[in-house]
Amino acid sequence: MSKVKIVIFSMLALLVLGGILLVLLITAPTDIETPPEVINHSSTIPLMGRDLDEIETVEITNQMSSYTIQKNRTKTDEYYIESFGDSVKTNQAEFSKNLGYLALLPANELVEENADLDKYGLKTPLASINVYFDDDSYTLKIGLQTGNLSYISINDEKSVYVIDGFKVAPLLSDELSYVERNVFQHSGEAFSRLEVVGTYDEPIVITPGDRGGYLMSEPVRAMLHPDNSVDYINSLFNLTADSVAFVSNSAGKTLDKETADYIVSARLEDESELVLFIGEKTDEGYYATSNTAPGVMFIVNEHNLPWVTSTIEDIIMGVALMPYIFDLSEFSVEADERVISITVVGDELNEEFLYNDEVVLPPERAKELYRFMISAQAESVYTKATQGARLARFTYRYEDTTQPDDIVEFFRADDRGLIISINGKPSFRCRETYLDGLIQSMNDFLTSS
pLDDT of residue 14: 54
Output DSSP code: residue 319. B
Residue partners of 220: CB distance under 8 A and separation at least 6: 312, 316, 378, 381, 383, 422, 425, 427, 428
Note the pTM of the prediction, 2 decimals. Answer: 0.77
List, for residues 375-411, the tens digit of each pLDDT value.
888 888 888 887 788 999 999 999 999 999 999 999 9
Residue 417 pLDDT > 70: yes
- Across residues 12-22, what is the average pLDDT? 53
pLDDT of residue 344: 94
Residue 327 pLDDT > 50: yes
Residue 304 pLDDT > 80: yes
pLDDT of residue 23: 46
- Across residues 60-88, what is the average pLDDT? 90
Which domains are assigned to the chain? 45-178 (2.60.40), 191-312 (no CATH), 325-448 (no CATH)
329/353 Cα distance (integer angstroms): 10
Sign for the pseudo-dihedral over CA of 256, 257, 258, 261: positive
H-type helices in 136-268, by residue range? Answer: 165-168, 230-234
DSSP helix/strand/coil, 391: strand
pLDDT of residue 120: 97
- Across residues 43-53, what is the average pLDDT? 92
Confidence of residue 88 (pLDDT cuts 50, 70, 90): confident
Residue 346 pLDDT > 60: yes
Top mean-pLDDT range of 130-144, 343-357, 380-394, 432-446? 130-144
List, for residues 135-157, the tens digit of each pLDDT value.
999 999 999 999 999 999 999 99
Residue 2 pLDDT > 60: no
pLDDT of residue 109: 93
Q: Which CA distances in Å does 179 have to 113, 224, 244, 430?
A: 39, 35, 7, 49
Residue 320 pLDDT > 80: no
Mean pLDDT taken over the chain: 87
- Across residues 288-297, what is the average pLDDT? 89
Residue 435 pLDDT > 50: yes
pLDDT of residue 449: 55
Strand runs (DSSP E) across 134-228, as ranges? 137-146, 149-154, 160-164, 191-197, 204-208, 214-218, 222-223
List, for residues 159-186, the tens digit of each pLDDT value.
999 999 999 999 999 999 999 999 986 7
pLDDT of residue 39: 47
